[in-house]
Amino acid sequence: MVRGLLCVALLLVTAAAHAETWPGKEWARGEPLAGPAVEALEAYAFPARDDATRQGVRTDALLVIRDGQIVYERYAAPTSASTPHLTWSISKSLMATVLGVAYGQNRFKLSDPAARFYPPMKQHPKVTLADLLHWASGLDWQEDYEYAPLKSSVVAMLYTRGHGDMAEFAAETDAAVAPGKAFRYSSGDSNILSAALRGMLGHKAYMSYPWDALFEPLGIRSATWETDADETFVASSYAYLTARDLARVGLLMAREGRWGDEQLLPKDWVAFNRKPFDGYKAGQDEAVPGGQWWLNQGTPRPWPDAPADTFAALGHWGQALFVLPDAHLVIVRYGDDRDGTYGHNELLKRVLAAVQP
Amino acid sequence: MIRRHPILSLFAVLLLVLLGWVWHERVNLQAFPDIIAAYTAKEYCSCRYVANNPAQYCRGYVKQYVPTSAFRDNPERSEVTASGLGRTHSARWLGERQGCRLLP
């Protein structure tokens, strides 16, 4: 009798394990996508490249994960499966995920003022961690890159006046509006979050925390995260991962913060990431901000051909990690788009057509 | 004065506006010429030593409209130096986890 019950239990566990595939050291491979829809996807994502003019869609990597298995993968040289590609602003969503682990360890509350963990923010005592996560610090930040390099806060932070201590450079920005009320995309807000994490942990633990808390539990081995001279992780811009490793973070998010048997991120943290910020006004940015992630919400939806539950981490020059929980899909797209030819919606539309049975 | 030299007066006003703008933007203007050298050194370093791309690819990758006047990649030290608009900056690879950083 007991043996019979054990057998049933074992069967159930085995069945559950079969229903859900997780990557071990390597990703499992599913039935590869094929057919005319895949050709249409490749015609869009991988046209002939001209490295002299750098015009058009320039995909470096495209990886599609369905039900935890690789079903499509292609790279454009010199990027390969082993290239830790620059993610640019995807780093912001990665820092939010690292912060999610700290949140699960009760190291902070969303309503805590940033100044509690990062003293230079005493200049802005009312700015909370939730405000920073919503890019709603209210600081007078100029995010433009190439078109207004003289006034750009980002360029000054990364390359000139701010590069030694980026979080402090951001914290010294004047306030423009009250915190928590209005969306204003800011790489400065993301780097203040990074400095606040150090305040929660202490310098030594902070320096290995992204690896201890997130990368190693997920089996990510390729990650580099550059720091400024103050040894603060450049959460706004400078995390590097292979496409396969970035997809692990996507799978974690697709499965509500759970990795195997472990709830690595609290479910309410992922829910916060995926809740639209109510101070956002339609059309302010290319998608709707949640907590350092981008959502396919509102009317019209930013990516009308993708399901409404799609959310993403996005970066400069076409970097993207898309998570489509109901469709059981994770998509990594690395690029080097130097003009406006590439569009997320068109890529998503063609991937979705290619995964249809 | 204005009636006798209308064009001269206009230039005087424009010059004053320009000087006012230069004063207002003095911090940004002083830092501006540093951008191209710092950008080139830092992003080339990461392209080459973090992403492990070939040197020739990385030279193309960091190319901008503003030209650079000098460039040196020292593989023994993993240190990259670039000059442009009269300024010179270097970036160095620090390790597997920390990648490259612009030197002060």
d(CA A227, CA B97): 9
B87 — contact with chain A (CB < 8 Å)? no
pLDDT digits (tens, 9 = 90+) for A337-357: 999 999 999 999 999 999 987
Chain B neighbours among A 28-87 (CB < 8 Å)? 51, 78-79, 83-86
ipTM of the complex: 0.92
Q: What percent of chain A has pLDDT over 70?
A: 94
Bridge partners for A139 per DSSP: A175
A222 — contact with chain B (CB < 8 Å)? no
Nearest to A228 by CA among A254, A187, A197, A191: A191
Which of B47, B54, B104 comes nearest A164 by C-beta?
B104
Task: Tell me the pTM.
Answer: 0.92
Interface contact A240-B99, CB threshold 8 A: yes
Chain B neighbours among A 317-336 (CB < 8 Å)? 336
Amino acid, res. A347: L
The C-alpha angle with vertex B82 and arms to B31 and A88, in degrees rounded to 5, equals: 70
Nearest to A328 by CA among A67, A29, A73: A67
In the prediction, which pLDDT does B5 show?
Answer: 87
B22 — contact with chain A (CB < 8 Å)? no
From first to last of its 104 residues, chain B has per-residue pLDDT tens of 777 888 888 999 999 998 888 888 887 777 788 999 999 999 999 999 999 999 999 999 999 988 899 999 999 999 999 999 999 999 999 999 999 999 99
In the prediction, which pLDDT does A150 show?
Answer: 76
d(CA A196, CA A282): 30
Interface contact B51-A86, CB threshold 8 A: yes
pLDDT digits (tens, 9 = 90+) for A176-235: 999 999 999 999 999 999 999 999 999 999 999 999 999 999 999 999 999 999 999 999
Give the residue on A whose Cα is nearest the Cα of B64. A146
Average pLDDT over chain A, rounded to an integer: 94
B75 — contact with chain A (CB < 8 Å)? no
Q: Where are the domains positioned within chain A?
A: 23-107+202-355
**Three-state DSSP class for residue A223:** coil
d(CA A43, CA A276): 34
d(CA A291, CA B67): 39
Amino acid, res. A143: E
A88 and A316 Cβ atoms separated by less than 8 Å: yes
Give the residue on B whose Cα is nearest the Cα of A163. B102
Neighbouring CB atoms inside 10 A of A2's CB total: 6
Interface contact A156-B104, CB threshold 8 A: no
Top-tier CATH class for A23-107+202-355: alpha beta
Give the residue on A whose Cα is nearest the Cα of B39. A159
pLDDT digits (tens, 9 = 90+) for A120-151: 999 999 999 999 999 999 999 999 766 667 77
Q: What are the DSSP E strand ranges found in chain A?
A: 28-29, 59-66, 69-75, 85-86, 224-225, 239-241, 258-259, 262-263, 288-289, 294-295, 311-315, 319-324, 329-335
Neighbouring CB atoms inside 10 A of A3's CB total: 7
